[in-house]
Structure 1
Amino acid sequence: MHIDEWLQVIPAGWLYATVAFVIGFESLGIPLPGEIVLVSAAILASKGVVDPVWVGACASAGAIVGDSAGYAVGRKGGAPMFARLGRRFPRHFGPRHVGKAEDYFRRFGMWAVFVGRFVALLRILAGPLAGALRMPYWRFAVANVLGGIVWAGGTTAVVFSLGLVAEKWLKNFSWAALAVAVVFGIATTLYLRRRAASALDEGDLKGIVRGPVDM
């Protein structure tokens, strides 16, 4: 059963809780499909299954609380924690991934927390890495709250609106048009994934969690 099918069969209250918990734990640093869950819930909202406002609110709360918890864990665990995570989850916390994220944090400071909410790799690393690098908490909190609300609320609003338009559009066009739309969507997703992978491969890596940084 796909995620969207599973979400559709559970009660609305549990769906909101699922959105908050999955996004929260992903923000804490656990590799979970937070964005997929959010998009699926927003699509269900466009079909009238759940309320989009509650979806966006729960997603925002999960993102903010999860990132804050991740900050606390990273501040306490530091470099040894990333070393352990790298051995357990090499695809997400390997030296190359953490090194790229750390370099990004050192260059952009609190903006890395805000923008990182929109990037799959940084969405997992933002909280723990900001804590490990000793970013002042007030700076982290501002970027975390704004980033969480803009990402979660914005994604929900965009997907919900597109869902309404798509449902109306599909009533007026043939199945052939639907097939074209699906192919276009898949092609766009593959292209964006390839661009993201290329971005991660660019540039030289620096040391991992080398100490406090002025942000």
Structure 2
Amino acid sequence: MSINDTLLSLSLSPALLLLLVLGIALVESLALVGLLVPGVVLITAAASIAGHQAIALPWIISAAFIGAVLGDSASYLLGYRHSDTVTTRWPLSLHPEWLGRGARFFERYGIYSVFIGRFIGPVRPIIPLVAGMMRMPGRTFAWANIISAALWAPAYVLPGYLLGHTWQQRLNLPANVEMAIIMLAASVIILAVMFSWGRAQVGRHGRIYFAIAHLARRVPAMRRPWLAMSRNGEVPLASLFLCLIALTAASAWTLLIMQHDGPLLIDLQAKQLFAWLRSPWLVDASLLLAKVGDKAGIIMLAAPWALWLLLVKRFDLLTHGALALGGIGVLNTLGKAVFGRARPDTPDYLVGSFSYPSAHTSTWVVVTGVMAVLIASRQPRQRRMWVYWLAIGITLPMALSRLVLDVHWLSDLVGGALLGLVVCALIQLNWQRRYRRPLPSIPWARLLLGSLLLVGVRVAFFPPV
């Protein structure tokens, strides 16, 4: 059995799905953690798969119920036993307003806050913690916890279960495309978590950064490298971790591609799914994105920014931008030549061009990644994750448009995205090696307008490259 077949069988196992629903409900109800996890989306997706599998509904609701009760109970005990220290721990140490919001809600509704709070997103993971800190009687909390979980579980599970139970009949989806959908959803969620919670943890105020700094001071072999890297301020752990994770994942993924003759199972499933989704307007939009994301489109997009950097004499940033685009271009060319993977379909303008990795995806990851770092560096620390999420949201349509046009496999997009992340991390690491002068005020409106006008000219008057 291939690796993909194994993953598919595991992902659709009834026992695993029940554990998944229980785990999501538990994590979504845990103090503070629930604020960082898209629990509603995850539990809806898991319930949808369970409905498609026709797993008995009482089992799914019971799993969600147990997870919710356990999560709130753990949060209550944490607040009850560690009320003096919990406010000094991450993430409350960075977001004390979360606790204040929960305390005001608790003071307003008293014992009913546990029941009501279960269904209100902003305070849901905070209320059990506050109840413990306020010394709510255990028996009172237990009854409110159990009754609210008994109502919450079916309310959150049933919509997803109904969707999964009916999607095949009502939507006429292709058979056996679940793994491709899971792969796409998991990729987006992993990237979102990596660039929000993960990046915060390896930043100067994060727990991982603090733990490594503490270890470096105690271990002589680590002390000198740590001091050398911190001469310019913060040690670039985020860029270093991103480079290591992306490079490892890209290497493993490429090895998986090399071991298979032809497309993977998820590639065939994604091809079925996007053939079903394909429509004239979606194809037209994808053709437009194909022009925006090719070599000519990227040159037009970057030209105003390069000219501005020349005018303000920021040759260091201009050089790094050129290295990023040139580096990803070379890697894409080498990758296609070395692997020689055939495309699902090859239009005339792509004759002689191979499939792996997806150059549109990798190049767009580099473009949005470099811009995201530039913008995030000028934002308060709490807002930086929104910049990275926006970059993910901009990159996703570009990548998926390649599946709509049927010129790439899903695995090509994954490989291209990982390769782009490696280049972004390497460029950022090199940039952080020494102190850089801050940029002058950026004329965002004029530069963006210039990019849009040039890209518009490219789309209107030139064929795809």
- The separation in 2 between residues aligned to 1:109 and 1:7, in whole angstroms, is 47
| 1:82 match | 87
Instruction: With a CA cutoff of 8 Å and minimum separation of 6, indicate the structure with the bigger relative contact order.
Output: 1
Aligned to 1:113: 114
1:23 aligns with 2:28: no
**TM-score, with structure 2 as normaliser:** 0.33
Q: Aligned AA for 2:50?
A: A
Out of 31, 35, 43, the position equivalent to 1:38 is 43
Deviation string 1:56-85 (CA, Å, 9 cap, x unpaired) is 101100111121121111101114302323
Per-residue deviation, 1:102? 0.8
The number of aligned residues is 169
Q: Is the 8 A contact 2:54 2:165 kept in 1?
A: no
Q: Normalization by structure 1: what TM-score? A: 0.66
Gaps of 5+ in 1: 180-215
- Say whether 1:73 aligns with 2:73: no
Looking at secondary structure, tell me which structure has more helix per residue: 1
Instruction: Please tell me whether residue 157 in structure 1 is matched to residue 158 in structure 2.
Output: yes
Residue number among 32, 43, 55 corresponding to 2:60 in the alignment:
55
Equivalent residue, structure 1, for 2:214: none
Given that 2:101 and 2:123 are in contact with CA atoms closer than 8 Å, whether structure 1 keeps it comes out as: no
**Partner residue of 2:132?**
131
Instruction: Return the match for 1:13 from 12, 15, 19.
Output: 15
Identity value in percent: 27
Query: For residues 7 and 71 of structure 1, what CA distance do their matches in structure 2 show?
Result: 37
Deviation at 1:105, TM superposition (A): 0.7
Query: What CA distance in whole angstroms lies between the structure 2 residues aligned with 1:56 and 1:117?
Result: 16
2:126 counterpart letter in structure 1: L
Q: CA RMSD in A?
A: 3.0
Structure 1 residues 146 and 7: CA distance shift in structure 2, 3 A? farther
Larger Cα Rg: Structure 1 or Structure 2?
2
When residues 176 and 117 of structure 1 are mapped into structure 2, their CA distance, relative to the original with a 3 A threshold, is farther
Q: Would you say the 8 A contact 1:118–1:151 is kept in 2?
A: yes
Question: d(CA) in 2 for partners of 1:7 and 1:146?
Answer: 35
Q: Which ranges in structure 2 are unaligned for 5 or more consecutive residues?
A: 1-6, 173-275, 282-465
**Contact in 2 for aligned 1:22/1:33 (Cα 8 Å):** no
- Say if 1:16 and 1:58, in contact at 8 Å, map to a contact too: yes
Query: 1:158: how far off?
Result: 3.1
